[in-house]
C-alpha cells in the first residue's frame, strides 16, 4: 500500500470523526439533523457524551496520520488501527442491531457502513502489514 494512501485515509477518517465528535458534543440536535436523524431533546446530554467518544476516535486517527508523517515505527500505527478497529466494530454491530430491530432510524446506516468500511480496510491492512510496507 502506498504511504500517501495511508496518510490520506488517516487524515480523512481523523478529521471526519473529530469534526463530527465536536459537533455532537456542542450541538447534538443540529448535528443529528444534518445526518437526517431525529432524537428527542431529552437525549441531547447522551448524544453529547457519544460526541466525546467519537472525538476520541477521531483524534486517535489524526495521531495515526502524524505517525505516518513522521515515519514512526509501523507497530505504532498498527496499534492505532487495532484499537480504533475495536471501537468501530462495536459501533457498527450496535447500530446494525438497532436498525434491524427497529430501535434506530435507518439513517444510522451511514454511520454503520462508514465504521464497518474502516474496520474492513484496517483489518486487511493489518493482515497484509500495509503500515510496515508503505512506500
Express each pLDDT in 56-85 by its tens digit.
999 999 999 999 999 999 999 999 999 999
- 1: confidence class by pLDDT, cuts 50, 70, 90: confident
pLDDT tens-digit series, residues 77-126: 999 999 999 999 999 999 999 999 999 999 999 999 999 999 999 999 99
Tally the domains of the chain.
1
Cα separation, 29 vs 40, whole angstroms = 8
Domain that holds residue 91: 3-133
Cell numbers that stand for 92 in this block: 457498527
pLDDT at 135 over 80: no
Cell numbers that stand for 105 in this block: 432510524
CB 51 within 8 A of CB 24: yes
Global pTM? 0.94
Nearest CA among 114, 94, 98 for reference residue 106: 98
pLDDT number for residue 106: 97
pLDDT number for residue 45: 95
Q: What phi and psi, each to the nearest 5 degrees, are found at residue 73? A: -60, 140
Amino acid at each position: 500500500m502506498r504511504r500517501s494512501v495511508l496518510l490520506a485515509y488517516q487524515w480523512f477518517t481523523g478529521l471526519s470523526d473529530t469534526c463530527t465528535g465536536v459537533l455532537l458534543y456542542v450541538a447534538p440536535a443540529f448535528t443529528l439533523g444534518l445526518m437526517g436523524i431525529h432524537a428527542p431533546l431529552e437525549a441531547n446530554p447522551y448524544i453529547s457524551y457519544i460526541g466525546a467518544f467519537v472525538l476520541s476516535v477521531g483524534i486517535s486517527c489524526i495521531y495515526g496520520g502524524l505517525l505516518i508523517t513522521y515515519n514512526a515505527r509501523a507497530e505504532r500505527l498498527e496499534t492505532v488501527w487495532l484499537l480504533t478497529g475495536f471501537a468501530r466494530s462495536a459501533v457498527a454491530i450496535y447500530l446494525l442491531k438497532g436498525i434491524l430491530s427497529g430501535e434506530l432510524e435507518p439513517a444510522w446506516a451511514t454511520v454503520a457502513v462508514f465504521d464497518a468500511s474502516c474496520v474492513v480496510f484496517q483489518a486487511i491492512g493489518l493482515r497484509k502489514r500495509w503500515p510496515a510496507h508503505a512506500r
